[in-house]
Structure 1
Amino acid sequence: MLPLYFLYSISEQNTSWSIGMKRFKKYVAEGLLIIFSVLFALFINQWFDDYQTHRRKEVALESIQSELYRNRSILASWKEHHMAIRDRITGVLEGRNDSLLVALTQKNFLDLGLLTNNESLVDAVLTHTAWESAKSTGIIAEFDFETTQKLTQVYSMQRVLTDRTLANILDFYFDTQAHDMENIDQILVQFQLRFWELTGQEELMTSLYQQAIEKIEE
């Protein structure tokens, strides 16, 4: 028989080993739990960030879409008004509106109100607030390439229409040469050319608005 102290020593070793294994398993379990908790927290944070980005993208596109609808409606009113002015000028130049020509020549300056039917050249402003906001926040980086391309095109053309073409008409009107009534025919030709350019661009803008809206709605 083995001495009692030897058996006791083995028993103590087994007990110590068992306790050590339990502690090791506990540490491993705690370590795995910590790792899982960290990874889960990272996953939740990433998911929440993605959700927020997606939501910001949706809000930005909705705002741009609303702006495009509004601008398209304004443009339709513009185009109708500007085509009427263009046709009125053409009528005078082609001798089909002598009464308007008489009214124009009775004054020593060009009365633009006679050409615009006493209405302002534009009755509302085309805006680009939603588009500029999307660019400034960087959310357009989340738009697909074709959407960004369509929106860039429509807003760039809108800027040309308002900042160049319309401005050219006003600049010409405020030029003293535009009020030399002895050259009324030449003056009207210059206005006619400018209004042809304006209405042509407005026709193009109508198509660009529609394309951009359809792209957003896909």
Structure 2
Amino acid sequence: MQKLNIKKYISDGLLIVFSVLFALFINKIAERMDMQTRKETALTSIRSELYRNSGVIAMWNEKHGAIQNRLDSLITGKNDSLMKVMLQNDYLDLGILTNQQSLIEAVLSDTAWESAKAAGIVSQFDFDTTQKLTNVYKMQTVLMDDTVRSILDLYFSRESHKMDDMDATLFQFHLRFHELVGQEILMKQLYDEAITAID
């Protein structure tokens, strides 16, 4: 009788251990599937964000390239009529350089990328994808926070509106727009690489 009780206890114990291990196994599979779903959702959102940002950069590049060309023609003296228009004011009118359009009409987004990082999903990406995405978003930050800001800081500087020193001011703008246009070309390449890595 005691042997029967011991066998029953052992079989019950084994059944409990098996049940716990099976439940943990099922839970682990469910967690993996949930993480895979979250990873795919994050990559889809990031891909959409990159496509949108790439379109914004293409628009910026066209507009900023035209501004760079205007500045080039002013600095080299090839556009005296535009220089005369600029010198009619007692301040630097940026609208003359931008063809009366705003400098930045759409902003670059990083919401999907930041959300994926905050949720810890980025750790699920392969190394190449993570590297490409990190590069593109870091460069995007440099472009927005450093290059565009330097142009705005120059424009809002009191020194830039001294009309007797217009040549030096235009040269400074030309340098900054040259850098901006170059970075926009690089950004387009980085977006393409990152999208390819995701796909």
With the shorter chain as reference, the TM-score category is over 0.9
> Quick one: distance in 2 between partners of 1:63 and 1:121?
27
Compare 110-119 and 92-101 and name the one that shifted more. Answer: 92-101
Secondary structure of the corresponding residue to residue 122 of structure 1: coil
2:49 aligned with 1:81, yes or no? no
4+ runs deviating over 6 angstroms: none
Q: 2:94 aligns with which of 103, 107, 112?
A: 112
- SS of 2:173's equivalent in the other structure is helix
1:186 corresponds, among 165, 168, 176, to: 168
Measure, in 1, the Cα distance between the counterparts of 2:65 and 2:81: 19
Shift of 1:57: 1.2
- The structure 2 residue matched to 1:103, chosen from 77, 85, 94, is 85
Q: By how many angstroms is 1:154 displaced?
A: 0.7
Instruction: Spell out the pairing of 1:1-218 with structure 2 (5 A cutoff).
Output: 25-217=7-199
Q: Please give the alpha-carbon distance, in whole angstroms, between the structure 1 residues aligned to 2:6 and 2:163.
A: 103
Aligned residues, how many? 199
Q: Which has the larger radius of gyration?
A: 1
- Write the distance in 2 (CA, Å) between the matches of 1:105 and 1:138: 55
Whole-Å Cα distance in 2 between the matches of residues 205 and 124 of structure 1? 15
Cα deviation code 1:90-109 (max 9, x no counterpart)? 11222222221110011111
- Range with greater deviation from structure 2 (135-144 or 151-160): 135-144
**Offset, 1:27:** 4.1
**Counterpart-to-counterpart distance in 2, 1:177 and 1:34:** 80
Partner SS state of residue 184, structure 2: helix
Between the aligned partners of 1:202 and 1:55, the Cα distance in structure 2 is 33
TM-score by length of 2: 0.94
Deviates more, 1:110-119 or 1:47-56: 47-56
The percentage of aligned residue pairs carrying the same residue is 54
| 136-145 or 197-206, larger mean C-alpha shift | 136-145
Shift of 1:46: 0.6
Could you say what the CA RMSD is over the residues aligned between the two structures, in angstroms?
1.5
Question: Unpaired segments of 5 or more residues in structure 1?
Answer: 1-18
Moved more, 54-63 or 120-129: 54-63
More contact order relative to length (CA 8 Å, sep ≥ 6): 2
- Out of 68-77 and 137-146, give the one that drifted further: 137-146
What TM-score results when the alignment is normalised by the length of structure 1? 0.86
